[in-house]
Structure 1
């Protein structure tokens, strides 16, 4: 196995010169650089990445921490982060926190010891000390952490108002709003958007807290629809919850959209696979992940980025779970 000493001997320079050249960590004359490059090529020498990280404290690794990899929204975000990171020469390590603060903190501490270059985080740990005191670059994705950490998110409030108006314009008289977890900023913004649209409409409404999980959403909606027979519209704070609502309606024999109209929020690919297709407020998931990755890499490479909040517009995707306006 070729060593750095073999390269130095072949190039006729010192080991220190070879090390400076390989790690770009100091001055190397033009002639010496050419000699080292030729020796590296001839001997087919490859610098051990672990050794490089010990010398440079840089690995070109990005940690991506998401709360629930089983929620289709987060794999779509991860795909965007990975695609963009690779174009800049970075590799992504995916970590699933399960909304567990200790698990999240453990990922941060473990990857810091591996000389990770920075983190993209979707977290509900607002103002947690392990983020406030973090020396590495961090970007918050979908959920803000604190005012000092750049955030990339959708216009959740306006999006929820748009989704609610879809149901109002299509004649719903009693709307059930599946409110997301109260500790999550996006869920709170969507609640505010729902209230903005429903408050002066004169339409009756119910609000229930509902986790972003399919099975839980199905159970909650099943119970509410059995108790409240006159609900004819559901706006869910996530597409996963909307899918659970659609399943509950099917089990109860409620026709969608003729008897019950449903609107989701996210715009994940799964919405098109449902029958009928899910009307939703679509976030540009790929764009969110791409922006977060570029912002983080700029911070890693010490490029000035004065903007701290990046808001991505949403748009309506009208499909089969809502009727036409004419009807």
Structure 2
């Protein structure tokens, strides 16, 4: 493997001179600089990123932690983060954590050893104690991790309320909710938004709330049991679109017509909702804008070396498709 010493020997300069050329740090005679560049090209020398990060104090690397890469929401989010980081000439690293604290800590330790410049984290398991041990800027995405961190979220509770209000406007009388995992902060806020609208209705039963774990198959099986136990249900608010797609599949298995006999609305606005049959009505997040904002906030923290805490909350928007009845 070619080393910096090989480059210095071929160019007939010191390793310090080669380093200055590589890092654009300090004056080097133009003729000497050209000789070093020719030596680098001739030897196909690739500088050691770790060594350069130690020299410059930065690796030009940003990591995004997501809990489930199989959920289509997160690849859409990751694309936005990647586009912004690449535009600013940062290397983008995507880490799938499964919301497993051991995996998160393993990634955090390994990336800090590589002098990663900052983290964008979607997590429901990382604690304040763990956050305090991270020696790099952090932006929390999708869920608020700490009052000490900048965050980018959406109006989950109000968006959930709007989803249920919309179902009521279509004539729905018995509205159920498929919720995400208990440990996820946005599960709780979306559930609370649902309860804001139904808890005082005479028809409401706690058994109308079933777990879907933000998972297609689990949501499908929960919906089959829900509709078998409660055939009077005529509408479902799913806590995300993946679960909404699971509910649609469950209804098809049971021979229930959507939307004539059952309206279903999701939350997120991922592309899969446009491909289901029928197409899924949803409370759509501005996914690309959310990911872009988180990346821009993190890069600003890195470049300005400042820790001003900012909280950005975007609004979700109703996208009416074919899985819900028309408003009355």
The TM-score normalised by the length of structure 1 is 0.91
Name the SS for the 1:204 alignment partner: coil
- On the 8 A contact 2:177/2:237 being kept in 1, the answer is yes
Change beyond 3 A, Cα 1:114–1:6: closer
Following superposition of structure 1 onto structure 2, how do residues 73-222 of structure 1 map, counting pairs within 5 Å? 73-199=73-199, 204=204, 206-222=208-224
Shift of the alpha carbon at 1:35? Answer: 3.6
Change beyond 3 A, Cα 1:313–1:208: same
Change beyond 3 A, Cα 1:36–1:125: farther
Unmatched tracts of structure 2, length 5 or more = none
Change beyond 3 A, Cα 1:254–1:33: farther
Unmatched tracts of structure 1, length 5 or more = none
Following superposition of structure 1 onto structure 2, how do residues 50-65 of structure 1 map, counting pairs within 5 Å? 50=49, 51-65=51-65
Change beyond 3 A, Cα 1:312–1:8: farther
Counterpart position of 2:283: 281
Shift of the alpha carbon at 1:55? Answer: 2.6
Shift of the alpha carbon at 1:5? Answer: 6.3
Counterpart position of 2:232: 230
- On the 8 A contact 2:101/2:126 being kept in 1, the answer is no
* Alignment partners' CA distance in 1, 2:136 and 2:282: 36
Counterpart position of 2:34: 38
Change beyond 3 A, Cα 1:194–1:19: same
* Alignment partners' CA distance in 1, 2:103 and 2:195: 35
* Alignment partners' CA distance in 1, 2:318 and 2:197: 15
Counterpart position of 1:49: 48
Name the SS for the 1:281 alignment partner: strand
Describe the superposition over 1:163-193 as per-residue Cα deviations: whole angstroms up to 9, x where unpaired.
1111000011101011222221111111121
* Alignment partners' CA distance in 2, 1:151 and 1:36: 47
Counterpart position of 1:291: 293
- On the 8 A contact 2:150/2:310 being kept in 1, the answer is yes
* Alignment partners' CA distance in 2, 1:135 and 1:241: 37
Shift of the alpha carbon at 1:203? Answer: 5.3
* Alignment partners' CA distance in 1, 2:145 and 2:85: 22
Shift of the alpha carbon at 1:40? Answer: 3.2
- On the 8 A contact 1:295/1:305 being kept in 2, the answer is no
Describe the superposition over 1:185-232 as per-residue Cα deviations: whole angstroms up to 9, x where unpaired.
111111121122334565535222331000000111100100111000
C-alpha RMSD over aligned residues: 2.1
Change beyond 3 A, Cα 1:33–1:68: farther
Counterpart position of 1:257: 259
Name the SS for the 2:92 alignment partner: strand
Name the SS for the 2:139 alignment partner: strand
Structure 1 runs of 4+ aligned residues shifted over 6 Å read none
Counterpart position of 1:67: 67
- On the 8 A contact 2:18/2:36 being kept in 1, the answer is no
Change beyond 3 A, Cα 1:17–1:202: same
Matched, 1:268 2:270: yes
Shift of the alpha carbon at 1:20? Answer: 3.2
* Alignment partners' CA distance in 1, 2:19 and 2:75: 39
The TM-score normalised by the length of structure 2 is 0.91
* Alignment partners' CA distance in 2, 1:9 and 1:186: 59
Shift of the alpha carbon at 1:313? Answer: 1.4
* Alignment partners' CA distance in 1, 2:37 and 2:126: 50
